[in-house]
Amino acid sequence: MKHLLIDIDSYQYQMESRYQENSSLTNLFTENKFIGWLGLFIVFFSIFAIIIFQYFEWESNEKNKD
């Protein structure tokens, strides 16, 4: 039984040492820097624009109530 656990542990260690995670988001910024930064700016400015337009909508509703 002990020998079986040692074999399983050895096999798991070999799998962990060969495992390398591939993140598409990380690859986007390291391999395609222009596209990665462009996408980041598009997301940022889209959120910013939504907040600004929502603010103006709230202000116009407040003026219409008065």
Spatial CB neighbours of 35, under 8 Å, sequence gap ≥ 6: 28
Asked whether the predicted pLDDT for residue 11 surpasses 80, the reply is: no
pTM of the model: 0.52
How far, CA to CA in Å, does 5 sit from each of 11, 13, 18, 21?
10, 12, 20, 26
Q: What is the pLDDT of residue 31?
A: 79
**Can you give the residue ranges of every domain in the chain?**
33-66
User: For the residues 31-48, what does the mean pLDDT come to?
Assistant: 90
The answer to whether residue 58 scores a pLDDT higher than 80 is: yes
Name the DSSP class of 33. Answer: H
